[in-house]
Amino acid sequence: MSIPYEPVFLGVPFNMHLILEYLAFFVAFRYYLYLRKNSKDNISSTNRLSIIIGAVFGALICSRLIAFMENPIVHYDQGWMTTVNNKTIMGGLFGGLLGVELVKKIIGEKQSSGDLFTLPIILGIIIGRVGCFLAGTTEFTYGKSTTFFLGMDLGDGLLRHPIALYEVVFLLLLFFGIKVLQKQSEKFKDGDYFKLFMVAYFGFRFAIEFLKPNAFFVLGLSSIQLLCLICWAYYYKFIYQIAINAQK
């Protein structure tokens, strides 16, 4: 199998990255509905719908903004249409978080809402990242050229870090790790699983960005890394609590 991988059926090439991206949304949403049906949700259906709408619009705006900030000079030269089409999951996650918190303040919802979304989000990202891997160097989820034994030819003839696969492995471990922790519910409050996911995933992405061939930096960091620092600052109380518990 060569990468980029676009199988041809009846003379028609299939964009596997796009197909898996849509599949990720479908599977994640169906998994969310399954979890909600089989668990006690303290948030009413009306408020839950409002929260989802807030997450969608927050993710839509911020995913484009952070994607633009990855290299604003290049995106500006390419025109507004390219800017609208570019997106990043990191901006989507943090923008979705801000959208949810804004909507909750508006409707007066006090209950934590993130735990029910946590595993579906992770599952969706895993499926999407498989698509990114199959897209090779046509999607900016590849790494720098390397002599490391895991280096792969992602379509340009160079051995590169397959960052999308690194992320899939990390997310699989995180997915099953959270499922194990959910059996120890007495140690976690409502919302803690989502916070754990955000802190862990943004921490992983901060580290893995050093393996990407980024071209635009602020204070020596990429826009994704700066967003990771903002996320950690947002969750500083949770991170502090984890550190305290780890010392006990």
**6-54 pLDDT, tens per residue?**
777 777 777 888 899 999 999 999 999 898 888 777 777 788 888 888 8
Q: How high is the pLDDT of residue 2?
A: 77
Mean pLDDT by runs of 10 across the 248 residues of the chain is 77 83 93 86 79 86 82 61 68 90 86 83 95 88 91 90 95 94 75 92 95 86 93 92 74
Q: What integer pLDDT is reported at residue 232 of this predicted model?
A: 95
DSSP labels for the chain? Answer: --SS---EETTEE--HHHHHHHHHHHHHHHHHHHHHHTS---S-HHHHHHHHHHHHHHHHHHHHHHHHHHSHHHHHHH-HHHHHH---HHHHHHHHHHHHHHHHHHHT--S--SHHHHHHHHHHHHHHHHHHHHHGGGSS----B--STT-EE-SSSSEE--HHHHHHHHHHHHHHHHHHHGGGGGG--TTHHHHHHHHHHHHHHHHHGGGS-----BTTB-HHHHHHHHHHHHTHHHHHHHHHHHH-
Per-residue model confidence (pLDDT) at position 55: 87
pLDDT at res. 80: 55
Predicted TM-score (pTM) of the model is 0.89
